Structure 1
Amino acid sequence: MRQEPRTAAPAAGENPALPDDEPLTLPADRTEGCPFDPPAALARLREEQPLRRLRYDDGHVGWLGTGHATVRAILADPRFSSRLELMHNPFPGLAVGELPAAPIGDLTGVDPPEHTRYRRLLAGKFTVRRMRALTERVEEITAEHLDAMERHGPGLDLVGMYAHPIPALMICELLGVPPSERDEFKRLAAEVSGTGATIDEMMTAFAALTEYVRELVAAKRAHPTDDLLSDLTTTDLTEEELAGIGGFLLAAGLDTTANMLALGTFALLSNPAQAAALRADPGLAETAVEELMRYLSIAHTGVRAALEDVEIDGRLIRAGESVTIALGAANRDPERFPDPDTLDVRRRATGHLAFGHGIHQCLGQQLARVEMRVAFPALLTRFPGLRLAVPPEEVPLRGGPGLYGVQRLPVTWDEE
């Protein structure tokens, strides 16, 4: 199903055409019936001016980057900080005021030299070679969950039975969670990322999960095994840093991949020709995964703070100003990707920004790639008649400022 560019009038609050120097508010509303497209207003803004003034809810006036080249340049420039406490929140309707500093161990919210120290310790654990070595285990876990789906029979939620448990178990493998504790670990992880939970419930679950990781770190220090946490106990990281990094790896590697597997399946089932192409040729998995990452851009928006005056696209960004980066719009930039609103699993979508760019590019991207390259074609091959069990407009979507995805994905198939 081709997603055509939209030219309808902007919805309320989505900024009619404005002069370049007049601040706008961040477009957030997606076009009804187009669940895979970024807000249409972002495409118009990208065409008019890929770097525009943006008014934040707290009154701060910063910037919005929408073009691929613009966003890539900002992500690559060390003069832009990732420290949360330096940023302003761009999302309308959320609490304003100063953001807290990133939790200990969170690589995404710190700058060098702290970021460099953490990244150097972890980078060797996430090499392409090491992640590819996990492919066999990913295949086993995937087959187990396909078997469970077959035993269950048609009519199930793909999120709960496939998209969430596969990356959850791979995180267990990576961190060395004992098999006897994995059900409890998965339960806590599901509560942390639960789309129906309140903020307080999610924070309570995250605290319980962090405490579990803290106890796991102590166990690994006393009795190391062949896993990432055991490796890290031999470094100069403190107990608090080890627990924080464990929690960070969980948050960064579970919810993102689970959302990609679910929303990616929704996109493939909504584009039958693309699903058929991948089913007929599983060798397309590599290009299909990169294209789905580009096309969906589930981590759709980021923020950076200027540490000094910086000129981008001929415009002067002053020290202290926040710059919001619309990754979804950048990955749909026709100057970088021809016919960008069409899903094409044969496209070589190299250069997409779905994993970020620069020093903060996703550390676990190779593991995520392995999981998706296995899980998508395996699902389509095992269930060639897989289809949505509800009309597309009834699939409950997950919006908000964090990750975009689906809350549930009801699917069915015809039994032979």
Structure 2
Amino acid sequence: MHPFPQPESAASFDPWSPVFVADPYPAYAALRATGRVHRFEPTDQWLVPHHADVSALLRDRRLGRTYLHRFTHEEFGRTPPPAAYEPFTTLNGQGLLDLEAPDHTRIRRLVSKAFTPRTVERLVPTVRRLAAELVDDFVEAGGGDLLTAVAEPLPVAVIAEMLGIPASDRAPLRPWSAAICGMFELNPSEETASAAVRASVEFSAYLRELIAERRRNPGTDLISALIAALDEGERLSEQEMVSTCVLLLNAGHEATVNTTVNGWWTLLRHPEQLAALRADHGLLPTAVEELLRYDTPLQMFERWVLDDIEIDGTVIPRGSEVALLFGSANRDPERFADPETLDLTRRENPHVSFGAGIHFCLGAPLARVELSASFGELLRRAPGMRLAAEPEWNPGYVIRGVKELRVEL
């Protein structure tokens, strides 16, 4: 731990408090009002709350998602992860999200050959069909939990379909993903780590079998395309392929699930905006972007400081970790007019919910297709949808969402 005092302004930033998780935005406003960078001792991080700084640091090559391409743990002043975490560490460490150049450049280029705009375009009818089927069943049931009935199964099914995972094998995908993503929360417990390690072992073993099968019998799915992807004689290793598939599933649905339920919870609390959207479904494209801005599912994105940086006169030394507060950046009045107001017609909307720079979300186009499909179907088929019970928030702060969203039709 560094011997820097924690400023009083950060005292209200409490990512383990249910009250804070339910509404972190007043604390963000306090952070923005009192400085551009704040030391937060409990996680040994520097909090960055302003849009201009978050946006610039996402593109700054002096920061990285990893430091192992330049330093050992010891050189960087960090403790290596416990040996018992190895299955999770390997799985996560070989995924695009936690790599830097040159490996990130090579793998992203290869994955991009398989995950093309044409691939996403081809999926549009499938996404719309799946959304329609799920919403039909939901309407027939008279409502229920929007999370388990529509928000969750849609993106999981889409990614599984893309990867060529048979329908009969899909049940463990969401539990595996949830267990692995638990490690992205702040100061995860030993219990969380054990669950992530178990899920990493099981998910990796399943994918290795599936990859072997696709090598023998290639198909039109993304795994077959990843096996075939070549770039100047380079191809993905088996571990890189496994890590890529896990990342595509985890990142490809966690955010979409939470944007769907958080978005509907937001709309149901803003009846005038919801009425305007119900009256004009043509607002859907700007509405989706505004819901992503107003209550982003990923509240924080962490980066390592590889070379000293300075923010507003404060030198943040190499070896530190910065926490870029996406939720705060998306409500920054220096960048957004009237940022605390939900405005589904907002035209200029440079939110950072999909990141920026080399780690900009590869699946952003697919996420937009899925969100437009599910919101569109629910607007059409359930025009009178209303809240049945006040939702409770999950304890997680980094990936933030409600436990369920019970609605009536």
What TM-score do the two structures reach when normalised by structure 1? 0.83
**After superposition, where does 1:381-392 map in structure 2 within 5 Å?**
381-390=380-389, 392=390
Q: Residues 10-68 of structure 1, C-alpha deviation per residue, up to 9 Å, x if partnerless?
A: xxxx96348xxxxx795426785994x424222111122122333244xx4x5221000
Distance 1:125 1:380 in 2: 33
C-alpha change, 1:186 and 1:402, in structure 2 (3 Å) is farther
What are the superposed Cα offsets for residues 56-101 of structure 1, whole Å, 9 maximum, x if unpaired? 44xx4x522100001111111011011177899xxxxxxx965575
Q: State the alpha-carbon separation in 2 of the partners of residues 232 and 66 from structure 1.
A: 37
2:85 corresponds in structure 1 to: none
CA contact (8 A) 1:306 1:319 kept: yes
* Letter matched to residue 356 of structure 2: H
Partners of 1:105 and 1:118 within 8 A in 2: no
Higher relative CO (Cα under 8 Å, sequence separation at least 6) belongs to 2
Specify the code of the residue in structure 2 equivalent to 1:116.
T
**Ranges of 4+ aligned residues in structure 1 off by more than 4 Å:** 29-34, 84-88, 96-102, 194-198
Q: Pairwise mapping of residues 22-61 of structure 1 onto structure 2 (< 5 A)?
A: 26-28=13-15, 32=19, 35=22, 37-57=23-43, 60=44
Equivalent of 1:78 in 56, 61, 73: 61
Distance in 2 (CA, whole Å) between partners of 1:116 and 1:56 is 34
* Aligned residue among 146, 150, 174 for 2:139: 150
Equivalent position amino acid for 1:134 in 2: L
Q: Which amino acid aligns with 1:159?
A: L
For residue 70 of structure 1, give the secondary structure of its aligned residue in structure 2.
Answer: helix
Deviation at 1:268, TM superposition (A): 1.1
Q: Structure 2 CA distance, aligned partners of 1:173 and 1:29?
A: 36
Which of 138, 156, 171 does residue 127 from structure 2 map onto? 138
* 1:276-308 deviation digits (Å, cap 9, x = unpaired): 222222221111111111111111012111111
TM-aligned CA distance change 1:219 to 1:157, over 3 Å:
same
CA distance, structure 2, for counterparts of residue 188 and residue 34 of structure 1: 26
Q: Partner letter of residue 100 of structure 2? A: D
In 1, the alpha carbon distance for the partners of 2:204 and 2:376 equals 34
| Structure 2 residue aligned with 1:265 | 264
Distance change in 2, residues 1:31/1:210 (3 Å)? closer
1:253 aligns with 2:252: yes
Matches within 5 A, 1:116-135: 116-135=105-124
Matched to 2:394, the amino acid is: R
Q: Structure 1, residues 293-351: CA drift from partner, whole Å, max 9, x if none?
A: 11111110121111112233343222222211111111100010111111111112531
Q: 2-side partners of 1:25 and 1:274: how far apart?
A: 30
Distance change in 2, residues 1:274/1:84 (3 Å): farther
CA distance in 1, matches of 2:204, 2:243: 7
2:302 alignment partner, SS class: strand
Query: C-alpha separation between the residues in 2 aligned to 1:327 and 1:87?
Result: 29
Among 153, 156, 170, the residue aligned to 1:165: 153
Gaps of 5+ in 2: 1-5, 83-88, 183-188, 230-234
Residue number in structure 1 paired with 2:172: 187
Structure 1: how far apart are the matches of 2:329 and 2:253?
Answer: 24
1:117, distance to aligned residue in structure 2 (A): 1.1
SS of residue matched to 2:319: coil
Q: Does 1:234 align with 2:222?
A: no
2:336 corresponds to 1:337: yes
Higher helix share goes to which structure? Answer: 2
Specify whether residues 190 and 282 from structure 1 end up closer, same or farther in structure 2 by C-alpha distance, changes over 3 A only: farther
Does structure 2 retain, via aligned residues, the 8 Å contact 1:84–1:109?
Answer: no
What is the aligned-residue identity percentage?
38
Corresponding letter in the other structure for 1:406? V
What CA distance in whole angstroms lies between the structure 2 residues aligned with 1:148 and 1:87? 53
> Is contact 2:146-2:406 (8 Å) kept?
yes
In structure 2, the partner of 1:9 is none
Q: CA RMSD in A?
A: 2.8
Q: State whether residues 177 and 249 of structure 2, in contact with CA within 8 Å, keep that contact through their aligned partners in structure 1.
A: no
Asked if 1 retains the 8 angstrom alpha-carbon contact of 2:204 and 2:242, the reply is: yes
1:205 shift after superposition: 3.5
Closer, same or farther: CA 202–54 of 1 in aligned 2, 3 Å = closer
Q: What SS does the corresponding residue of 2:170 show, helix, strand or coil?
A: helix
Could you give the per-residue CA deviations for residues 360-401 of structure 1, whole angstroms, max 9, x where no partner exists? 1111111101100111121122111111111x3xx1211324
Aligned equivalent of 1:356: 355
In the alignment, the residues of structure 2 paired with residue 34 and residue 342 of structure 1 have an alpha-carbon distance, to the nearest angstrom, of 19
Question: Structure 1 residues 336, 43: CA separation in 2 closer, same or farther (over 3 Å shift)?
Answer: same
The answer (yes or no) to whether the contact 1:290–1:348 under 8 Å persists in 2 is no
Counterparts of 1:309 and 1:171 in 2: how far apart (Å)? 39
Bigger Cα displacement from structure 2, 247-256 vs 311-320: 311-320
- TM-score normalised by L of structure 2: 0.84
